[in-house]
Structure 1
Amino acid sequence: MRQKHRIQRALTEAWLDLPYAKELEVIDDLLTSQPTIGELAAQDLIGGDPETGRPGMTGEEAIRALVLKQANQWSYSELWFQLHDSQTSRAFMGYGISDRVPSRSALAENIKKLRAETLESISRVVLDMAEKAGVEKGRKVRIDTTAVESNIHHPFESDQLWDVVRVLTRSMKQAKELTADELTITFADRTRRAKRRYRGAWNAKTKAKRREQYRDLLKVAREVMGAARRVAILLEDFSPKTAGASAKAARIRGEILRVLALADTLCDTTQRRVINDELVASTEKVISIFEDHTDVIRKDRRETIYGHKICLTGGASSLILDCRVLEGNPADSSLAVDAVRRQEEVYGRLPRQVALDGGFASKINLAEIKGLGVQDVAFSKRRGLEISDMTKSTWVYRRLRDFRAGIEGCISFLKRCFGLDRCSWRSFASFKAYVQASVLSFNLLVLARHLLT
């Protein structure tokens, strides 16, 4: 039976007299003082009958393991090693001298089960603790956006066509092996030819030679796609003798159909852009066949990021009060009012003062935010707005403008130390969970440092 939290702590070693250990000790006290955190996490971990089976990791254990992983940017293998080797990490997890550490796969499985919505709810609990401790009241906030990369390579068409060929060929080989006794699956292995054409496109000296390589690469990709469609039809009628084989066949067929849907679009846009020399909008392009949720984020002609834009609201204590993962690349000016309104969900009231980046500035946004009851609204770039319309004095405007710059430091800290520069988890749901996990770990560390001082 899985428990929500440990009923009795095991005999653990003493905390070390080091700054990092002291911070973890404060975070340990915070998590222990709030059983709600373990209960929220346990709802995502429990599957099937909760009264049967092995105990497994508790909800609180999963959250603690997640915080350790994100705060130190460890892989699952490194996390597993540290839980064996580090006295401080074991003390934080509450493991006794003779307690067994969960395996690497168990750590990964339980951490990945935590949903973004659950982690956001836990962050709200942490903010409630910060309010009760007098660290953050939510009366003065700063809002900005940034972009988080997906874990993909640069989306060149040649790379993606090569990905299509090798992934579909791999799936067809798996199907052939699975159905060897009952079906006859035949197809040509075109991976070597596709790889030569993909490399040829990279190394071509002229546009005409590159186009020639692309033509053959498209021909190979379409041939492999045709073979994959025939395999998918055969798998649809396949009736294996065991439930395990049936589930595996369904998984292989689902992967083939998923890739084929993206490959059709990819071949079409490549034909139009490379062969026919047409302009293709970024919204029509396939950015990745692995992370197909990825958006193209263009940042003021400076750089292009392939991932998702996130909107962050920070408080005077440097805690992140709200975080949203957005779809597409909406203009900052379309996010301002909603970001302010969401503070009412967090604190039950709106902030008294709001500082925003210049990209949020517009007369409509100023009027709507003021209409909500916010006293002072400062955009870092005025863009034709009068200071007297935004704040009650020039001194207040300058103070809020300088205060807004602090969110840049928070974003930098999140990216450098909590992995918010690039998400290494797969799927859009996991992307959102990864972002919320980074924010939760950040908030716990910032709150711990406030309480230590």
Structure 2
Amino acid sequence: MLRVAGVQDPWWEVLPEQARQMPSELARIDAYLDDERFIAPWRAVFAERLGRPSIPVETLLRLLYLKHRYQLGYETLCREVADSLSWRRFCRIPLTSPVPHPTTLIKLVRRSGVQTAEQLNAALLGKLAEDKLLRCRKLRIDTTVIEADIDHPTDADLLEHGVRKLGRLVRRIKAAGAARRTSFRDRSRSAGRRLKEISRTLRRRTGQALGEIDRLTGEIATVARATLRDVAAVERNALRALGKRPSGRLAHLVGELAETAAGTRRLLEQTALRLAGIRTIPDRLVSLADPDARPIRKGKPQHPTQFGYTALVAEDERGFVVDHKVQRGNPPDAPQLVPSVERVTTLTGRPPGTVVADRGFGFAANDQALTELGVQRIGLQRAGRPGKARREYERSRPFRRMRNWRVGIEARISHLKRGFGFRRTRLRRLTGAQTWAGLGVFAYNLQRMTTLSR
């Protein structure tokens, strides 16, 4: 059930004035969040009258800001809020009330989803525009990688993970009362033993060791195939039991078993291709825990291949992130430019006067589309070898000024990665990455607002 505000705590008035004061940043944000537009997105998440009362929305909003502002885990966040008078007052938690449990926050974030994060960002940007803090006369755009919360994947490691997860799910299904008499052999130890042999073999660093690794990987694949044969019988009988005795928990376990089995089959296909000498595999699966993550190559020497999602970031001249979009894989940059500018135009009611981006966006079609939108100054360096007239234009002083200003987006992305969680998403799948990035942008724009409104 939706609960917008908590109870008023009279004990705050008993404390001395110095104990009741909040840091200036938190005081500004506390006042800024006192707006109905930040409550409205949560009304679709909670029922108005049914169910157990939720955490007050005003408390949840402020807890999420602190989490993404200071890069805290849920347990650390709750512990720090409980220990700090100023943070407790900022989150509007009475002195006599406990801080919400970390698992409660985790469930609420997952339940809120992408749409709530998008609506919160839209509400914040709209309020910033009304307060004349957001002008968006200039726009610089770039893309970056948000890494998934996974280890560096290898075929053997992924298959061993699949065998272990299938065995764990079968045990839970049998404990729930389904497919109890169906025979199943847990081969987790067998796969794990071969994975350890691969680890020992890698230390030799010889050509012979590579052949040994391929042999052991093939053996793990054989173990995975045998496990899948047993899983098929368990899944079939569990579905039969589910039809006789419906159970939400059992249905969830059977669905997860089917999804994991499908992912393991896909891993077997990838492994067979790799052992056959085919190294380039399109749309490669790199994780069973986060199946939406993809390998991404951005040409960085220190990180030749990253595993996660691609995020587009658009920043205005005052440092606000006015548009962002997280996508699966590594889509080309150029087609994302015009839709981003259109979204910003819808937000502000007018097109930005200047739009700059790097060579990945630099195509004549984008120049023409931006001109039709009403953009007056376009600073897109052309990809490839431009003609003589274009080279002279790119050497002109106005274009060089736009090009030099564009470089600042790299610093902004670095700031988001170091300070607001853009380096690695802690939520899984594409929807989780979009939610994580959206909440990070929300926290960043709030913090930026306090800097500009001093």
Same fold (TM over 0.5): yes
In the superposition, relative to structure 1, how do residues 14 and 253 fare at CA in structure 2: closer, same or farther (>3 Å)?
farther
1:185 paired with 2:182, answer yes
What's 1:103 paired with? 101
What's 2:291 paired with? 292
Matched to 1:203, the amino acid is R
Q: 1:409 Cα deviation (Å)?
A: 1.6
Unpaired segments ≥5 residues, structure 2: none
The CA distance in 2 between the partners of 1:262 and 1:37, in whole Å, is 39
Give secondary structure in 2 for the equivalent of 1:325: strand
The CA distance in 2 between the partners of 1:236 and 1:408, in whole Å, is 52
The CA distance in 2 between the partners of 1:71 and 1:133, in whole Å, is 23
CA contact (8 A) 1:143 1:355 kept: yes
Q: 1:286 Cα deviation (Å)?
A: 1.6
Deviates more, 1:420-429 or 1:441-450: 420-429
Matched to 1:77, the amino acid is E
Give secondary structure in 1 for the equivalent of 2:251: helix
What's 1:238 paired with? 241
Q: 1:131 Cα deviation (Å)?
A: 2.2
CA contact (8 A) 1:148 1:423 kept: yes
| CA deviation profile, 1:205-240 (whole Å, cap 9, x unmatched) | 523212221221111110111111110011011159
The CA distance in 1 between the partners of 2:100 and 2:241, in whole Å, is 38
Give secondary structure in 1 for the equivalent of 2:3: coil
Unpaired segments ≥5 residues, structure 1: none
CA contact (8 A) 2:285 2:294 kept: no
Give secondary structure in 2 for the equivalent of 1:423: coil
What's 1:451 paired with? 453
Number of matched residues? 442
What's 2:270 paired with? 269
Matched to 2:289, the amino acid is F
Matched to 1:398, the amino acid is R
What's 1:198 paired with? 195
The CA distance in 2 between the partners of 1:390 and 1:21, in whole Å, is 49
What's 2:3 paired with? 3
In the superposition, relative to structure 1, how do residues 247 and 128 fare at CA in structure 2: closer, same or farther (>3 Å)?
closer
| CA deviation profile, 1:347-374 (whole Å, cap 9, x unmatched) | 1221111111222112221122122211
In the superposition, relative to structure 1, how do residues 209 and 247 fare at CA in structure 2: closer, same or farther (>3 Å)?
same
The CA distance in 1 between the partners of 2:383 and 2:285, in whole Å, is 38
CA contact (8 A) 1:139 1:351 kept: yes
What's 1:259 paired with? 260
The CA distance in 2 between the partners of 1:414 and 1:19, in whole Å, is 28
CA contact (8 A) 1:146 1:309 kept: yes
The CA distance in 2 between the partners of 1:296 and 1:18, in whole Å, is 49
| CA deviation profile, 1:240-297 (whole Å, cap 9, x unmatched) | 9976xx22221221111101111111111201212x22244232x2211110011221
The CA distance in 2 between the partners of 1:74 and 1:294, in whole Å, is 23
CA contact (8 A) 2:20 2:85 kept: no
In the superposition, relative to structure 1, how do residues 30 and 388 fare at CA in structure 2: closer, same or farther (>3 Å)?
farther
In the superposition, relative to structure 1, how do residues 449 and 188 fare at CA in structure 2: closer, same or farther (>3 Å)?
same
Q: 1:128 Cα deviation (Å)?
A: 2.3
Give secondary structure in 2 for the equivalent of 1:299: coil
What's 2:342 paired with? 341
The CA distance in 2 between the partners of 1:354 and 1:15, in whole Å, is 48
Matched to 1:194, the amino acid is A
1:148-187 alignment runs, 5 A limit:
148-179=146-177, 183-187=180-184
CA contact (8 A) 1:4 1:42 kept: no
Deviates more, 1:439-448 or 1:61-70: 61-70
Q: 1:17 Cα deviation (Å)?
A: 9.5
1:87 pairs with one of 77, 85, 88: 85
The CA distance in 2 between the partners of 1:64 and 1:29, in whole Å, is 11
Give secondary structure in 2 for the equivalent of 1:335: helix
CA contact (8 A) 2:187 2:227 kept: yes
Give secondary structure in 1 for the equivalent of 2:433: helix
Give secondary structure in 1 for the equivalent of 2:79: helix
The CA distance in 2 between the partners of 1:381 and 1:405, in whole Å, is 16
Deviates more, 1:165-174 or 1:12-21: 12-21
What's 1:51 paired with? 49
2:429 pairs with one of 424, 427, 430: 427
| Cα RMSD after superposing both structures | 2.6
CA contact (8 A) 2:8 2:94 kept: no
Matched to 1:231, the amino acid is V
TM-score, scaled relative to structure 1: 0.90
CA contact (8 A) 1:5 1:38 kept: no
The CA distance in 2 between the partners of 1:171 and 1:296, in whole Å, is 27
CA contact (8 A) 1:387 1:394 kept: no
TM-score, scaled relative to structure 2: 0.90
Deviates more, 1:394-403 or 1:248-257: 394-403
Instruction: Work out the percentage of aligned pairs sharing the same amino acid.
Output: 26
Q: 1:306 Cα deviation (Å)?
A: 0.7
Matched to 1:80, the amino acid is C
The CA distance in 2 between the partners of 1:369 and 1:15, in whole Å, is 54
Give secondary structure in 2 for the equivalent of 1:323: strand
Give secondary structure in 2 for the equivalent of 1:200: helix
Deviates more, 1:422-431 or 1:221-230: 422-431
